[in-house]
Amino acid sequence: MRTMKPALKGLATAITCSMALAATAHADPLKIAMSFQELNNPYFVVMKQSLEDAAKSIGAEVIVTDAHHDVSKQLSDIEDVVQRGIDVLLINPTDSVGVQSAVMTAHEAGVITVAVDAQAEGPIDSFVGSRNYDAGVMACQYLAKNIGEKGNVAILDGIPVVPILERVRGCKDALGKYPDIKIVSVQNGKQERDQALSVTENMIEANADLKGIFSVNDTGSMGALAAIDASGKDIKLVSVDGAPEAIKAIQQPDSHFIATSAQYPRDQVRIGLAMALAKKWGANVPKAVPVDVTLIDREGAKTFSW
């Protein structure tokens, strides 16, 4: 069972007030759109469900689009929802820079725009996302301790959006504090299970003495875990997200998957919506709202869920 972190309680109050205001101050139903980079991922599915629940509670209409990691489709999706007269756009960009023209289109149409989970270039009103640098640091510090602070490690990278770049930067900084740990491979698993499986197999084959792997997300980590298990080698795995399948895997006896830096997708989208509504009704909102992450190991996995 998950509980809200103390740092988020004030924001939770703001969410409640903003939504109450939205329910009473708008004659017609609000139109809220959210453009996702993908929905083939439990993390974003949870976020979508939470948005729909929040919108229902204030009688708002919700339009959800899935870019399938195609920035051209995301641009088209956003242009379409803006033409449909939306009041609020929540954007989870598949390419932080590539969506800039769509953000500008929304801004020029008077649409309140908030980036969620991944930063977007352009005139956004606020950004809500995890402390991704901290997530990388936490996971890789834990990895270092669990391989005895020495040995060769690899990084299973992903698409070049700010959260992924920050996780890798945090991991490298954490591992850089251990002179006897060497990063021998950084490969792109595209945050997908099948691709990550193949890439991890290649990394293991090319590095016979590999001791640990950091995966930038849990979907990729499940592919990496399959490759590690098949190799028969004792390679420790850490990741980021806190996905249900990963939490279950971490709890297995003698699992090579030892920890994940868990995010809070429900909190992110609720706070993102709250920032948008507060801005719409005239409040000054912060340009960025960082959301804490929590390292979940085998013990913590017993009680954690999104």
Least confident of 11-15, 80-84, 175-179, 189-193: 11-15
Would you state the pLDDT for residue 162?
A: 86
CB atoms within 10 A of CB 20: 13
Instruction: Please determine, looking at this structure, whether the domain spanning 132-262 carries the CATH number 3.80.10.10.
Output: no
Q: What is the pLDDT of residues 85-103, one digit of tens each?
A: 999 999 999 999 999 999 9
Q: In what order do the strands lie in the sheet with 31-36?
A: 61-66, 31-36, 88-91, 112-116, 126-130, 288-291
Q: Where in the sequence of the chain do the CATH 3.40.50.2300 domains occur?
A: 6-129+264-292, 132-262
- The pTM is what? 0.85
Q: Which of 288, 296, 306, 304 is nearest to 131 (CA)?
A: 288
CATH superfamily of this structure's domain 6-129+264-292? Response regulator (3.40.50.2300)
Q: What is the pLDDT of residues 182-228, one digit of tens each?
A: 999 999 999 999 999 999 999 999 999 999 999 999 999 999 999 99
Q: Is the pLDDT of residue 19 over 80?
A: no
Burial of residue 180, with CB atoms counted within 10 A of its CB: 0-12 exposed, 13-18 middle, 19 or more buried: exposed
